[in-house]
């Protein structure tokens, strides 16, 4: 059984529960600060970081502005290299394509490399319904899958769990999925990693079909790129006979040489390392080496809607490094689950509502899950101005249905502030009743004064005082 984000409560509600969990806050504080510091060091080593960042942004922006051309080029290059390209306009289509391909191999088990795109389309659930078991192989994804939990971070999805809990999950659930956890398993991360190695080893050596996402797809060479650390990615990308990669249409870069920018930006922003332990790059099929059947599924699933918004479009530059999560004071306190979405943190707050079309209350609450401090923009390796998009989406949220009280107040304020006479009348009226205004407002307005005081109303307005002063002279 796989868990789902569907039907999660809106952000403020979920966040309230999260911040009360002191263990979670402790884990998150430690984790986000550790990665933040490592990133700072790794980035600080490169004196041309600003140039790399602007080049990365420019490459992605250019690709998005000519995406139709680059999609066609990817299709041509991948097919020339011996791969097959499929197009999926939404999650249901993508899931149907992958299910059909897996059925075609005659297999009922697949191994998976950690992939945000397949989480977004809830592929595991769809496969399960078709009688196919998908085994997650990234350590954190394995923990989340065994525990029937949800990922809470783009890079380290089990960041919300401590070692003791992970040990319990392994002892309780590993046996049901395959090789059981060893007797006397301790909560030492080494022992836990070893248990995962043993648990998955046979699976890697014997499973004939694998599913992955991709960090980049190169248009001119048809090369697919996956960055990872553990070697589970290499296992899945190399040993099976059939490989299916599900990739969002925004993952394209024009040329192989462009990778020299992103292979510097991504590892340093993501894990704070100079380079991640393993990166696999393959173009279609290499005869006699690795999978002899390769399928690339190009996924839209709302991305073209994001592309159509000239302000929101920049969210599609994202290379999923998760630096914005680690830098965000809100994420640090609430964790990833509160965002109710596969993409948490600042990037999730702008990506999820756009991908899903601001269709739910949760979507409409996400643009407010920020203090607009700008730390996310600062650390973004492709310079996505997340605060700009957040404000843009807030505008869309208030223009939608509901919020009648707020709209009425804003209309009143607009009327008063656009006429000097009306403003003066309002100020006089306020001064006249200044003693009677309570510190805490009643009714719906109490939500505002719960955390703020009603400002002191002066005896006379500045305008009146200025006018009087002129007359006295």
Partner 1 sequence: MSGSRERVLGRVRAALEDVPADEPAERVPSRTYARSHGAGPALEVLVDRLEEYRALVHRVRPEELAGQVAAVLERRGARRVVVPSGVPGAWLAETDVERVPDSRQDPRSPGELDAVDGAVTGCAVAVAETGTIVLDGSPDQGRRSVTLIPDHHLCVVRADQVVDAVPEAVRLLEPTRPLTWISGPSATSDIELDRVEGVHGPRTLEVLLVAGNG
In the list 230, 332, 363, 385, the residue contacting partner 1 (rule: CB under 8 A) is 230
Q: How far is the CB of 189 from partner 1 (least distance, A)?
A: 4
Q: Which stretch binds partner 1 (CB under 8 A): 8-16, 128-136, 195-203, 412-420?
A: 195-203
Nearer to partner 1, 289 or 472 (CB): 289
Binding residues for partner 1, rule CB under 8 A, total 100
Nearer to partner 1, 33 or 468 (CB): 33
Query: Residues with Cβ < 8 Å from 45, sequence gap 6 or more?
Result: 268, 274
Q: Is 182 in the site for partner 1 (CB under 8 A)?
A: no
* Separation between Cα atoms, residue 151 and residue 8, nearest integer Å: 14
The CA-atom distances, in angstroms, between 149 and each of 8, 17, 48, 186, 347 are 13, 17, 40, 21, 21
Subset of residues 236 to 265 that bind partner 1, contact rule: CB under 8 A? 237-239, 249, 254, 256-261, 263-264
Q: Which stretch binds partner 1 (CB under 8 A): 231-239, 370-378, 387-395, 410-418?
A: 231-239
Q: Which stretch binds partner 1 (CB under 8 A): 24-32, 121-129, 349-357, 453-461?
A: 24-32
Nearer to partner 1, 68 or 456 (CB): 68
Q: How far is the CB of 362 from partner 1 (least distance, A)?
A: 25
In the list 46, 130, 398, 426, the residue contacting partner 1 (rule: CB under 8 A) is 46
Nearer to partner 1, 164 or 433 (CB): 164
Q: Is 339 in the site for partner 1 (CB under 8 A)?
A: no
In the list 18, 28, 35, 266, the residue contacting partner 1 (rule: CB under 8 A) is 35
Q: How far is the CB of 284 from partner 1 (least distance, A)?
A: 9
In the list 135, 282, 294, 331, the residue contacting partner 1 (rule: CB under 8 A) is 282
Q: Which stretch binds partner 1 (CB under 8 A): 200-208, 414-422, 440-448, 459-467?
A: 200-208
Nearer to partner 1, 300 or 363 (CB): 300
Q: How far is the CB of 395 from partner 1 (least distance, A)?
A: 18
| β pairing state of 278-283 and 223-228 | antiparallel
The angle formed by the CA atoms of residues 351, 355 and 356, to the nearest 5 degrees, is 120
Subset of residues 396 to 415 that bind partner 1, contact rule: CB under 8 A? none
Please enumerate, as own/partner, the contacts of 182-188 that have beta carbons within 8 Å and a separation of 24 or more.
187/163, 188/163
Q: Is 234 in the site for partner 1 (CB under 8 A)?
A: yes
Q: Is 124 left (phi over 0), alpha (psi -120 to 50) or beta?
A: alpha
In the list 6, 17, 193, 444, the residue contacting partner 1 (rule: CB under 8 A) is 193
Q: Is 178 in the site for partner 1 (CB under 8 A)?
A: no
With 0-12 CB in 10 A as exposed, 13-18 as middle and 19+ as buried, what is 305?
middle
Subset of residues 283 to 312 that bind partner 1, contact rule: CB under 8 A? 283, 286-290, 298, 300, 304-305, 307-308, 310
* Separation between Cα atoms, residue 147 and residue 144, nearest integer Å: 5
Nearer to partner 1, 127 or 285 (CB): 285
Q: Which stretch binds partner 1 (CB under 8 A): 62-70, 329-337, 410-418, 448-456?
A: 62-70
Nearer to partner 1, 33 or 440 (CB): 33
Nearer to partner 1, 162 or 405 (CB): 162
Query: Residues with Cβ < 8 Å from 6, sequence gap 6 or more?
Result: none
Q: How far is the CB of 13 from partner 1 (least distance, A)?
A: 28
Q: Which stretch binds partner 1 (CB under 8 A): 215-223, 370-378, 416-424, 431-439?
A: 215-223
* Separation between Cα atoms, residue 457 and residue 257, nearest integer Å: 63
Subset of residues 74 to 133 that bind partner 1, contact rule: CB under 8 A? 81, 86-89, 93, 96-97
Q: Which stretch binds partner 1 (CB under 8 A): 281-289, 343-351, 378-386, 450-458?
A: 281-289
């Amino acid at each position: 059984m796989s868990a789902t984000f569907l039907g999660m409560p809106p952000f403020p509600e979920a966040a309230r529960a999260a911040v009360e969990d002191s263990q979670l806050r402790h884990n998150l504080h430690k984790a986000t600060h550790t990665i933040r510091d490592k990133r700072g060091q790794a980035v600080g080593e490169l004196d041309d970081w600003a140039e790399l960042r602007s080049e990365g942004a420019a490459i992605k922006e250019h690709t998005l502005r000519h995406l139709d051309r680059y999609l066609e080029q990817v299709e041509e290059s991948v097919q020339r290299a011996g791969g097959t390209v499929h197009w999926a306009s939404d999650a249901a289509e993508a899931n149907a394509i992958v299910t059909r391909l897996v059925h075609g191999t005659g297999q009922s088990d697949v191994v998976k490399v950690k992939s945000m795109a397949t989480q977004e389309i809830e592929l595991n659930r769809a496969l399960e319904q078709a009688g196919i078991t998908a085994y997650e192989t990234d350590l954190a994804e394995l923990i989340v899958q065994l525990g029937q939990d949800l990922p809470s971070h783009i890079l380290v999805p089990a960041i919300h769990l401590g070692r003791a809990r992970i040990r319990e999950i392994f002892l309780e659930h590993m046996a049901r999925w395959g090789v059981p956890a060893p007797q006397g398993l301790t909560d030492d991360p080494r022992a836990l990693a070893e248990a995962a190695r043993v648990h998955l080893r046979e699976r890697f050596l014997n499973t004939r079909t694998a599913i992955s996402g991709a960090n980049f797809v190169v248009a001119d060479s048809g090369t697919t790129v996956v960055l990872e650390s553990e070697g589970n990615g290499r296992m899945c990308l190399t040993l099976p006979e059939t490989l299916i990669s599900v990739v969002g249409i925004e993952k394209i870069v024009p040329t192989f040489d462009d990778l020299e920018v992103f292979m510097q930006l991504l590892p340093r922003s993501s894990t704070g390392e100079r380079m991640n332990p393993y990166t696999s790059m393959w173009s279609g099929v290499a005869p006699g080496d690795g999978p002899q059947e390769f399928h690339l599924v190009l996924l839209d699933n709302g991305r073209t809607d994001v592309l159509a918004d000239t302000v929101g479009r920049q969210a599609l530059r994202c290379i999923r490094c998760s630096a914005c999560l680690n830098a965000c004071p809100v994420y640090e306190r609430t964790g990833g689950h509160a965002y109710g979405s596969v993409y948490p943190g600042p990037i999730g707050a702008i990506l999820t509502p756009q991908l899903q079309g601001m269709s739910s209350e949760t979507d409409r609450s996400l643009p407010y899950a920020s203090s607009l401090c700008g730390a996310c923009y600062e650390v973004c390796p492709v310079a996505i101005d997340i605060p700009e998009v957040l404000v843009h989406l807030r505008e869309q949220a208030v223009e939608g249905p509901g919020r009648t009280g707020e709209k009425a107040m804003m209309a009143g304020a607009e009327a008063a502030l656009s006429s000097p006479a009306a403003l003066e009348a309002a100020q006089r009226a306020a001064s006249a009743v200044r003693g009677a205004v309570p510190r805490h407002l009643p009714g719906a307005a109490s939500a505002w004064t719960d955390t703020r005081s009603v400002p002191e109303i002066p005896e006379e307005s500045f305008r009146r005082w200025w006018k009087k002063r002129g007359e006295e002279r």
